[in-house]
Structure 1
């Protein structure tokens, strides 16, 4: 009953969801200082493109705004600011602060080393810039190589250096990092909304159809498959159906709580969600780029429907954005603006996420009044919708709409905002993406798939035989021919 009687403000200082809102909002408010002539975000470090054999710190690392600062001072300030904020959050969330600080520091340094390596010109620059950097060959993967490298290093640690992975586990929080990055992304979406209002409106509205598909099509198909073919119990089929059809770990946990499922079920389904998300993250961005290089928005939306965790979806969307833009510049002769493909993926996913609280409430009612029908069963109050609603979405929307309202007041205001907000929506957001990739790898142990039997088999069949094909078909119907703006 104590869980059911929580206040509306419960968890505001104790959950990753809320701390994503607080961290994202803090940096957004800092960026607004430009309206009074204050650059409060120019200390943020960012990596630059460099060439093997001609490495220089000034080329590989630089401040976002404070041009007179030494690169190392900018990086050290970045570390100190984010370490202070994340440790404050860790203390509020009752994490082991000493272990978090040590793990965070290692992850931070490792992430930046990987990020700088990933910016080497042979990995990054498109074919048409080879002459500029004196290259005779290159992979032309854009920023996508940094993400792939971060994920690879994380997976090596998580699967071959398990002692190290256990030590880092307290600080490896991919869901928190990616949700913070998505709040930062609200600024980028605000900029994009002003540039192409009609496109944004169309993309958001088609998210309604994606939500309908996820809840009204995927869920019942997987549930019936689990019950009739795999002979799962009602609670096992329901928890797995939510996990694979809606929003992964959050949906599995929310559903399990709503229907009072056995405690082991959300744990097992969460493990499956995370591990299979790694396969999707590794396979889908490259596959979609190869099979439909001229359908960027279709590919982005299909990812949002298919990948079932916020972290993996945002990470896969960022990787897809980089790979497709690099491919388009090299092979199609067009330069798409950064972020639009990622936005297609996130917009679809966020629409789906927004209604998990409502869906959990619906399932709770069905279980209480239809499936169980037990006398004296606790009543399910509407406040449960609020508690199960993903709070980082509020931060994302708040930052998005606030930026649009401020920038719409005049050209000078918009230019001032763009100057300092660039550090938040660019380097800060990308750093959180990089931390997410490393952390996802660290917490992923493929050996945990052993012994899961029917649940793992059902998950694989449903994901690759039902979810992925239908998702791509729906994305094709609603987004075919839509193109992001070009430079």
Structure 2
């Protein structure tokens, strides 16, 4: 209550995703004045087992002759400084954060490098280039799967280590920062295929309507009439399953003043079921509809209920579908378009969390629990509940288009400097997200939640996933990413 419009700008993960994203975008814009403030970023090479060396597995993103080890060290120092500044502002335990962050960072890079080994990554038509006789042709998706697997092993079998890493394992913060970085990629895509982007945005509006107007009342009615849950439990669970996971559950619980335990329980279910979605859906969609990439991406955006898991699943789907298309369909799709289909849908849904929480607050205050002399709900609540990282994503997107549209030379210079941000930095944040999601996921927490877990499973896989795929098919069937 009585919060200012700028409350939380230095204290929330949402806002710090914006600040970190804008910092790196502005660093890339500095290239227009002859500065190179992003070329230090390290990235892994595709390499072959038996030919390991630092030069073979690592390189700097920029044109300058950075030694790969120095490039990696600078990458660590820059991101450690930025994240520690944010951790200090958010009042984390700084010593625990630095220690946990360092371990996560090193593990992430080891896993990322392993995932780039040619037998795991390269498509069949590049076997001869790397001297291979066999390969899995998983593309970059293997790195994500490996990071998730390692994280889940830590989170479920090495709980002392998971507790040590928990202060730094912040998947929602990492993925929101990556999404702000992604604004650059969307800017590039918008200039390449403006009509395609416009169509995705328009269909995203339809997806938002489906999520709020169809999923929510169905799940709420199921909770009330079939499982006989209370009004507040049904409302919070409906928001968590049908809209946007943890964010929507917490926003709804606050709006209707639900019992504190309800959003906690729902959040646990959201995170754990997101793991099943993340593991199952990308491979499942690739198998059942390998020639419908945008349908699959949009369906993920409607189905997966946390920003972290949706972006992670979208990135994995992008890698798996492009690798499969190159190996089996004879076409090379440009990277990022399938991921963008997933995120565009999800971000539209995210943008209206504040509005929905405000609507529910009105319903609960003035109808469900109406009492004499009750307080009023202010419009400012919409702003406070709005996901701020979306602002960063949109600001970077439109700023990139505005700057790049001023001339071809400026566009070329900006693109070269921004590539490490939307490429290597964004992928690193995705890798950190996968590892962190696994670390904080403890499947043993499902004990004692049989009734709610059953409702969640029925609603998610029996109602939301099929309807979401049908809606995505109606609006996106036949749409293809640009080919290389």
Counterpart Cα distance in 2 of 1:464 and 1:202: 27
Aligned to 1:249: 246
Which residue of 1, 18, 22 corresponds with 1:21?
18
1:80-229 mapped onto 2 (5 Å cutoff): 80-229=77-226
Counterpart Cα distance in 2 of 1:334 and 1:469: 28
Deviation, structure 1 residue 5:
1.1
Deviation, structure 1 residue 66:
4.4
- Unmatched segments (≥5 aa) in structure 1: none
Which residue of 386, 392, 395 corresponds with 1:389?
386
Deviations 1:35-75 (A, max 9, x none): 11111100000000000011121121000004411100000
Say whether the 8 Å CA contact 1:50–1:56 is kept in structure 2: no
Matched, 1:422 2:419: yes
Counterpart Cα distance in 1 of 2:353 and 2:30: 36
Counterpart Cα distance in 2 of 1:453 and 1:441: 22
Deviations 1:196-248 (A, max 9, x none): 00000000010000000000000000000000000000000000000000000
Moved over 3 A (4+): none
Which residue of 247, 259, 263 corresponds with 1:262?
259
The DSSP-based 3-state class of the residue aligned with 2:59 is strand
Deviation, structure 1 residue 78:
0.2
When normalised by structure 1's length, the TM-score is 0.99
Deviation, structure 1 residue 176:
0.1
When normalised by structure 2's length, the TM-score is 1.00
Which residue of 293, 296, 316 corresponds with 2:313?
316
Which residue of 453, 464, 468 corresponds with 2:465?
468
Which residue of 45, 49, 56 corresponds with 1:48?
45
The DSSP-based 3-state class of the residue aligned with 1:308 is coil
Deviations 1:227-270 (A, max 9, x none): 00000000000000000000000000000000000000000000
Deviation, structure 1 residue 126:
0.4
Counterpart Cα distance in 2 of 1:210 and 1:66: 42
Deviations 1:321-378 (A, max 9, x none): 0000000000000000000000000000000000000000000000001100112222
Say whether the 8 Å CA contact 1:43–1:66 is kept in structure 2: no
Aligned to 1:76: 73
Counterpart Cα distance in 1 of 2:372 and 2:258: 18
Aligned to 1:288: 285
Counterpart Cα distance in 1 of 2:354 and 2:26: 29
Counterpart Cα distance in 2 of 1:87 and 1:377: 42
Deviations 1:79-108 (A, max 9, x none): 000000000000000000000000000000
Counterpart Cα distance in 1 of 2:210 and 2:111: 38
The DSSP-based 3-state class of the residue aligned with 2:134 is coil
RMSD: 0.5
Counterpart Cα distance in 1 of 2:296 and 2:170: 27
Counterpart Cα distance in 1 of 2:360 and 2:420: 42
- Unmatched segments (≥5 aa) in structure 2: none
Counterpart Cα distance in 2 of 1:476 and 1:43: 42
Say whether the 8 Å CA contact 1:51–1:122 is kept in structure 2: yes
The DSSP-based 3-state class of the residue aligned with 1:46 is strand
Aligned to 2:399: 402
Deviations 1:6-58 (A, max 9, x none): 00000000000000000000000000011111111000000000000111211
Say whether the 8 Å CA contact 1:49–1:121 is kept in structure 2: yes
Q: How many residue pairs were aligned? A: 484
Which residue of 347, 359, 382 corresponds with 2:344?
347
Matched, 1:334 2:331: yes
Aligned to 1:443: 440
Which residue of 233, 253, 272 corresponds with 1:275?
272
